Structure 1
């Protein structure tokens, strides 16, 4: 009887261990993505202002996304660990400032943060819990001030157009690493600076050179930097 109990107990431990391994997705690096609110808000499908008011005229965090070196990525890795607002209660004020929601309908950011955690954050559980995931993102934003980096190079959010290469060079000089620039188009069809990607190691601590760039919408040679 004792032997049978031990057998069942060991079998349960093995099953639980396998379950944990399945949830704890492996990945190679992160994309840390920041978006320019002016380029989001002048599109046709946006509200832009959260219930707390207009965000600052600064790049805001879009997400911290686990990726593989072959260009693919995991998503929605752990449905048993949904977003829990109480886990980040000490970060909320910083999140509202640095990670504002721009989507319709206007909100306080919780639905945006919930989406980012459940789609991307749960795939980093092997190294980050929910609080660490959002804290790491805030830390990364503080390491590189994208707006000031561009302004230092004479690239201002004033509705003027700048060369794609000058934007890349400015971010590389300010961060030390090659960025990926994503554009969208305004209502007149002009290519404009939308999102800037930098790559981060699997600990979410240090910027690195990107093993592979995303296959996002390509920019024109001249990019508008809209005001906000």
Structure 2
């Protein structure tokens, strides 16, 4: 299956992400703008002058992807998006916070304001059980609410409830589009197979090349099924730069060899 142009990333682009971090905010609804000298999350030793331009305390963001084969989820030549999770700078993490309101109508909000985003999410941001709406509500309410720059107070007087939800999902999808796990593995000769097995070191090397920093690789038993990429953010979530970094914590395991990467 040919990926649409929206997701067609070249390997040269993947290798350059650490030099050219995501900077633009694809969501025109966002009211947030920050100065160019905004501090980078988890790397600031003094108090930030504007909390709406500095992600704290959850300053390390994990872009998490899944490869689900039982049942098979998503295109057979793409990993799927699981979420964008704010971790504290020591690798621990908050959940179900109060920085932003909880919402239970994610599909309706995005459909009304960013229908193209919703179409992409319906193809690539998929659960392995339950409904899309329940999954997206879970990701927002558990993780999105912990990103302080998404607080309604960080928006201008034109703010409408739900703007922060569109920003969160827009930025997460945009980041996912720069992290083509399937292509990175294939370039290293690691492709889905019912018979082949792979070494963890080879998988790790291939995925470390995506950002130039360490990726976290996860397995269910001996089956490859997760990849996590870590970022700090310069400025706000809405419009800041995602700066690749090594993970602050480790939470996944795979065997050293004999790893299966099953086809969908």
Fold conserved between structures, TM > 0.5: yes
Give the distance between the partners of 2:202 and 2:192, measured in 1 at CA.
14
Please identify runs of 4+ aligned residues in structure 1 that moved more than 4 A.
Answer: none
* CA displacement at 1:144 relative to structure 2: 1.8
C-alpha RMSD over aligned residues:
2.3
Cα deviation per residue 1:137-179 (whole Å; 9 max; x = unaligned)?
1111111211011111100011321110101111122332210
- 2:212 is matched with 176
Which of 176, 201, 206 is matched with 2:232 structurally? 201
Give the distance between the partners of 2:216 and 2:191, measured in 1 at CA.
19
- 1:3 is matched with none
* CA displacement at 1:80 relative to structure 2: 4.1
What is the SS of the residue equivalent to 1:182? strand
Give the distance between the partners of 2:243 and 2:185, measured in 1 at CA.
18
Indicate if the aligned counterparts of 1:25 and 1:123 stay in contact, CA closer than 8 A. no
Indicate if the aligned counterparts of 1:180 and 1:213 stay in contact, CA closer than 8 A. no
- 2:125 is matched with 99
User: After superposition, where does 1:20-59 map in structure 2 within 5 Å?
Assistant: 26-38=57-69, 41=70, 48=71, 55-57=74-76, 58-59=78-79
* CA displacement at 1:127 relative to structure 2: 4.1
Indicate if the aligned counterparts of 1:183 and 1:195 stay in contact, CA closer than 8 A. yes
Which of 201, 204, 214 is matched with 1:165 structurally? 201
Determine which structure has greater relative contact order: mean sequence separation of CA pairs < 8 Å that are 6+ residues apart, divided by chain length: 2
Indicate if the aligned counterparts of 2:214 and 2:247 stay in contact, CA closer than 8 A. no
The count of residues paired between Structure 1 and Structure 2 equals 186
Instruction: State the TM-score, normalizing by the size of structure 2.
Output: 0.65
Q: Does 1:212 align with 2:248?
A: yes
Instruction: State the TM-score, normalizing by the size of structure 1.
Output: 0.74
Structure 2: any 5+ residue segments left out of the alignment? 1-50, 152-163
Structure 1: any 5+ residue segments left out of the alignment? 1-19, 42-47, 186-190
Give the distance between the partners of 1:34 and 1:207, measured in 2 at CA.
18
Give the distance between the partners of 2:64 and 2:255, measured in 1 at CA.
20
Distance 1:147 1:207, change over 3 A: farther
Distance 1:142 1:158, change over 3 A: same
